[in-house]
Amino acid sequence: MKNKNVMLILSLMLAIVTVLSACGNSGNSGSNYGNNPESGSSAVPSNAQGGGKSEEQVTIKYYNWDNEATAPNTRAMLDEFEAANPNIKVEHVVLVPGNSVEMLKKLDFLISSGEAIDVISVPSLDAVVERASRGALEPLNKYYEAEGLVAEDEYYVNPQIDGQYYGMQNTTTYQFILLNKNALDEAGLPIPTYGWTWDDFREYAKKLNKGEGVDKRYGSYFHTWELYMNPPAQTVMRNPFRYEDGTTNFSDPTYKYFFQLRKDMEAIDQSAKPYADVLAAKLNYRTEFFNDDAAMVLSGSWMVPDPGNLEQYPHDFVTAFAPVPLPPASAQPKDYEGGKYFVGGGHLTMGATSKHKEASFKLMRFMTTTDSEHRTEFSGWKKADSTALLDRLIGENKNMYDVESLKNTLFGESIEYLDASQVVTTFGSQLAKVLADNFSKFMLGSDSVDDIQKAMAEEATKVIEENTK
C-alpha cells in the first residue's frame, strides 16, 4: 500500500511538471501570426497581448534580386516589419542584383547545397511551381488555415500543385509600351490607345527613327527576354508556352508573324537595334530608352517610377504610355480572347528547409499586404489601393509623365485581364530555352521562319511529353 501511495504521488508530480513545462513553451509550438497587423486575424498569441514572456529572438533571411534603386525600399519595408515584430530580425540577401534569371540559378545552387532558406522573392508563377515540384518550397495551406485566410480571396494568382499553395503574390506586373512623347510630337504622331496592333507599332517605329550611325535614335528597342521574342504569346495568351489543352503553342500563328516582324524591323526598316548588337554589348533597356537611343520600348509596371527618377535616369523628355499592341486579325492566336491581357507578377515563397517557418510566414504576409510608402510595384493583394500607389510612384516629377495616358493604359475602360491559366508547367525553363535557342537561330542565321517554327514546335512537344508521362 505504501509503495502504491508513493507511486501515485510521483505520478501526480510528473503530471504537474509536464503541464508547467507546456505552459512555459509559448513561442514556437503553434501557428499563430496575430502580431501581423495586416493579417486581419483575431487569433493572437497570449504573449502578444502584453502578458507573459516575450517570444524567442530569431533571424530570418529574405532573398531577392534587388538593384541599387530598389534595395533601399525593400530594406525600409523590412525595417517596418521589424518594428512591428521586434522578436524577428530580417537579413536582406540580394543574390544577383537586377537579374532575376541569374538569381534563380544561384538560388537553386543554395537549395541543392542544403542551405536553410527562409523567404524568397520569385519572379513568376512557373518559377514557383517548378521549385515546388522539386520539394524545395514549403506548402502554405496550414499557415493560411491558422489565420482563417482563403488564398483566392486574398491574391489574384495562387501557385498550387495538387491543392497545395506554394506562393503568395507580392506584385502584379502589367506590360505596356513606354514612348518618348517629344519624339511623338516631332513626328506628328498621337499617343496610341487600346486596339492598336503590332503592324501599327512597326509603322510608328519607322517614323520615329532619327539620325544615323552612333547618334541614331531607333524607333524601338527589343531586349533579350522571352517577352520580346513573341509578345502576343506573353501578353494576350493565358500561358506563354502552352495552350489550355496542355499542348505547345509554339506552332501558333503569332510566332511566325512576330519572328518575321522582328527581323524585318531590323533588316528592312532598320527601326530596331540589331539583336546581335544587343547581345554583344549587353545593353540595358532602361539606358536605351532614357538616353534617347530608342523612342519606344516594351516593358512593365516596374518602370513606372523611372521617368521621375531624374537622378538615376537623367533625361529631358516626357514619357507617354500605351497598352501593348494586339496581334492583327491575320495573326491572332488560337483561342484568342478578344484582346484581354495576361497579368503576371512575383511571389513570395518559403523554403522547405527554413528553421523559422512561423516567422517567415509573418514576413510574407506583411510584405504582400503592406501599404508602405516604400512599395514600388503594384500589389498582388486584391485589397490594395492601386490608384493611390500609382500617384505615389509618379512622385514629385509629375511633369515628366503623360499621366492621362498612363492611367488609361493601366485602368482604362477597355482594359481587361485574362483569368489565370489552369495549365501547371513545372518545366517552364526548358520550354523557355527551346524558344530562346530557336529565336536566336532565326535572328542570327538564314533559316526560314517556317523551318524554325516547325523545329521549335517539335522540340517543345518532346519536352512536354517527357515531363507529363
pLDDT digits (tens, 9 = 90+) for 183-205: 999 999 999 999 999 999 999 99
- Residue 293: which residues within 8 A CB-CB, separation 6 or more? 216, 217, 218, 221, 273, 287
At residue 135's C-alpha, the angle toward residues 130 and 138, to 5°, is 100
Distance CA 109, CA 107 (A): 5
Query: What's the CA gap between 298 and 38, in Å, rounded?
Result: 34
Render pLDDT for 384-395 as a digit per residue (tens, 0 to 9): 988 889 999 999
Residue 26's pLDDT is what? 31
Of the residues 393, 415, 434, which one is the last residue of a structural domain? Answer: 393
In a domain, 139, yes or no: yes
Q: For position 44, what pLDDT does the model report?
A: 26
Strands (E), 135-257: 160-161, 164-165, 168-169, 175-180
- pLDDT of 291 reads 97
For 199, phi and psi rounded to 5 degrees?
A: -65, -40
CATH number for position 87: 3.40.190.10
271 and 410 part of one domain: yes
All 3 cell numbers of residue 219?
Answer: 524607333
Task: Write down the pLDDT at residue 7.
Answer: 40
Task: Please indicate, yes or no, if residue 48 is contained in any of the structural domains.
Answer: no
pLDDT, position 55: 67
Q: What is the pLDDT of residue 417?
A: 87
Q: Which amino acid is at 23?
A: C
- Give residue 341's identity as a one-letter amino acid code: Y
Any domain includes 427: yes
Between CA 218 and CA 201 the distance in angstroms is 13
Does residue 118 sit in the same domain as residue 133? yes
Q: Helices 253-267 and 449-467, interaxial angle, to 10°? A: 140
Do 232 and 157 reside in the same domain of the chain?
A: no
Range of the structural domain that residue 325 is part of: 175-342+398-467
Instruction: Give the residues of the chain that fall short of pLDDT 50.
Output: 1-54
Tell me whether residue 2 is in a domain.
no
84/125 same-domain check: yes
Residues 272, 319, single domain; the answer is: yes
Within this chain, do residues 314 and 191 fall inside the same structural domain, yes or no?
yes
Q: Is 210 inside a domain boundary?
A: yes
21, part of any domain? no
The candidate with the shortest Cα–Cα distance to 344, out of 421, 405, 403, is: 421
Q: Is residue 232 part of a domain?
A: yes
How confident is the model at residue 37, as a pLDDT?
Answer: 24
Q: Are residues 187 and 270 in the same domain?
A: yes
Alpha-carbon distances of 399 from 185, 206, 307, 309, 423, rounded to whole Å: 16, 27, 10, 12, 43
3-state secondary structure 135-167: CCECCCHHHHHHHCCCHHHHECCCCEECCEECC
Count structural domains, the chain.
Answer: 2
Asked whether 83 and 36 are in contact (CB, 8 A), the reply is no
For the record, the C-alpha cell of 459 comes out as 522540340
Q: Of 377, 393, 409, which marks where a domain is finished?
A: 393
Residue 107 to residue 117: CA distance in whole angstroms: 9
Taking the chain, what is the end-to-end CA distance rounded to the nearest angstrom? 70
pLDDT of residue 12: 39
Half-sphere exposure at residue 268, Cβ-oriented, CA atoms within 13 angstroms: 8
> What is the structure's pLDDT at 302?
87
Same-domain check for residues 228 and 274: yes
Same domain, 414 and 350: no
Decide if 276 contacts 224 (C-beta within 8 A): no
Global pTM exceeds 0.75: no
Residues 302 and 438 in one domain: yes
Contacts of 298 (CB under 8 A, 6+ apart): 175, 176, 177, 222, 227, 228, 231, 324
Distance of CA 181 to the CA centre of its chain: 28
Same structural domain, 110 and 240 = no
Regarding whether 351 and 321 lie in a shared domain, the answer is no
Number of H helices, E strands in the chain: 17, 10
**Is 5 part of any domain?**
no
Burial of 423 (0-12, 13-18, 19+ CB in 10 A): middle
